[in-house]
Amino acid sequence: MSDKRVIGFIGVGLMGHGMAKNILKGGYPLVIKGNRNRVPVDSLLGMGATEVRSAREMAQQCDIIHLCLSNSPQVEAMMRGPDGILAGAREGLIVVDTTTADPTSTMALAEEMAAKGVHMVDAPLGRTPKEAESGTLDAMVGASDEAFEKVKPVIECWSGSINHIGPVGSGHKMKLIMNFMSMSYASVYAEALSIAVKSGLTPQSVRDVMAPSRMGCGFFDTFFSAAVGGDPNAHKFAIANAAKDVRYVASMATAAGVMNPIGAAVRNYFDQAVATGKGGDFVPTIANHIAALNGCDLPAAVKKANES
């Protein structure tokens, strides 16, 4: 029988499956809550995880619960209600929320949880499902020193880089800053490709000149590998999630009393793409969307350049 803490995991999707797998590999007993997509659930059950039907049941069994969900309303729903985590929580339970969430919601939940002896840790993620599977994600953590020391060994199972940013809410704030910058890059890259193609340059020339320059970076590489290089899975992050994140950035800026005009432009691009049914597509396809708004067929331009 293991003497390690029992870990719960809710949200075993693109990112969560790899994280949960690596918690199991770290020797921790793992309890998961299933969803409609049984493939990752059955995979983890085959590795030794056990399954519960509700968040309440999980809270009754676990010492630390991970959440890896899409947004703050989903986190709030999982925490509250008759079948929520708080309904079954024992005093001392720690909830590690890896969702890219609204810090205002996070801090409000943390106060509500503290009143019941439950601790909130926000630990949003950097990098992609590839790093989730390999256990080398980036983690930016908001937590008390005491809670951080308790969860750190578990986070080390799925993270290759851990930064304890500050108190609860700090991790989610930092993640929004990162995603504001990255989605701004995505918007600029997309606009640049449209300008280049309409001006007679090939998309490949933009990639080949920029990549080895000071303007190249990891985000550039995966974005252009998808938008120009023909690898649709190089950058697996949905437009709908990006749109949600830049909306949260706007709320964060408003709360801080900071103007955010660039954020508004980025938000309009992503919200417009969602409104036209492209929310499920990956972020690099925003380049195709913006090109179409400019009367340009980016995939056709890529194909033409490849054939010439």
Both ends of the chain: CA-CA distance in Å? 64
Cα separation, 305 vs 230, whole angstroms: 13
From 2, 3, 49, 57, select the one nearest 23 (Cα to Cα). 49
Looking at 175, 244, 303, 304, which residue is catalytic? Answer: 175
Give the phi and the psi of residue 34 in degrees, each rounded to 5. Answer: -75, 170
Residue type, 101: A
- Whether 175 is catalytic: yes
* Torsion sign over Cα 159, 165, 169, 175: negative
Question: Would you say 79 and 108 are in contact if contact means Cβ atoms under 8 Å apart?
Answer: no
Hey, which residues are catalytic here? 175
